Structure 1
């Protein structure tokens, strides 16, 4: 009986450690790739210093190998996102569509941070962060490729 009790106690901490994701490592090959922005959008984004800093930090998600690296990158993303949100947007991108997608991105970054703090596997949250970032990048393309005159759209609403 005593040996059975000792064996049961010995297995429990190992099972708890596995369920908390301590042994988790990031396989960046399973993460979705970043969407490309077209030349017009890239020219505007290259002049937006705060976005460039955010994007540089975002790219580090793909080089993170373990939980500790990911925690550091996620905390840095939260800070860079705050700076980006408070920055002066280029006039072409100072619209609700861009700011809305940025808020969604912020939500998923914070969700990933929460997963890491509670020692949950953040893989699904990371994929959502990348999808939200891709949606933001695709919105940049939509904005610069929009050829309809704004006053035509405004006249339709009246």
Structure 2
């Protein structure tokens, strides 16, 4: 009878531990879906900038890939989206820029976006929480899109900016 009691206690412990592990896995997967809903939104560009960006194929592909961040449900989805963004960012960096956007201000902000893409990729590889990195990535991407707006709305002549004399 005493052996039966030990067996029953051991069985009870094993069953109770097993249920807790399953709940933890479910919570982790659902947290990525909730995180995607709480991310800041991408700012829009004005009509002038949109007309130029629509003709820039590599940027359009990068933007479509970036929008997929808002559809993630699991860690694996995010890994795939970030790997895709790394490839599309490389293609964008090597592409020919439209004349209006072939300026250091745009290229500099694009390098910042690249930095945060790689930071997010590193967080995922080391199994760290990528939420802060993703928010920083979206902030950097919004700064790039805002620079597109500033560039097309700039009414100052380029010669004025290039001269050092007053």
Instruction: Tell me if both proteins adopt one fold, taking TM over 0.5 as the criterion.
Output: yes
Structure whose alpha-carbon radius of gyration is higher: 2
With 49-58 and 145-154 compared, the bigger mean Cα shift is at 145-154
Give me the TM-score of the superposition, normalised by structure 1.
0.84
Please give the per-residue CA displacement for 1:49-108, whole angstroms capped at 9, x wherever unaligned: 000000000000000111000000000000000000000000000011000000000000
Structure 2 distance, partners of 1:53, 1:157, is: 42
Matched, 1:26 2:28: no
Matched, 1:76 2:84: yes
Give me the TM-score of the superposition, normalised by structure 2.
0.80
Structure 2 distance, partners of 1:67, 1:140, is: 31
Alignment of 1:41-120 (within 5 A): 41-120=49-128
Which of 143, 151, 165 is residue 143 of structure 1 equivalent to?
151
Q: How many pairs does the alignment contain?
A: 147
Structure 2 distance, partners of 1:24, 1:119, is: 14
Using the TM superposition, give the Cα deviation of residue 154 of structure 1 relative to its aligned residue in structure 2, in angstroms: 2.9
With 25-34 and 125-134 compared, the bigger mean Cα shift is at 25-34
The structure, 1 or 2, with the larger RCO (C-alpha pairs under 8 Å, 6+ apart) is 1
Using the TM superposition, give the Cα deviation of residue 29 of structure 1 relative to its aligned residue in structure 2, in angstroms: 1.9
The match for 1:123 is 131
Contact 1:22 1:119 in 2 (8 A): no
In structure 2, stretches of 5+ residues that fail to align are: 1-9
Structure 1 distance, partners of 2:122, 2:56, is: 29
CA RMSD of aligned residues (A): 2.3
Contact 1:26 1:65 in 2 (8 A): yes
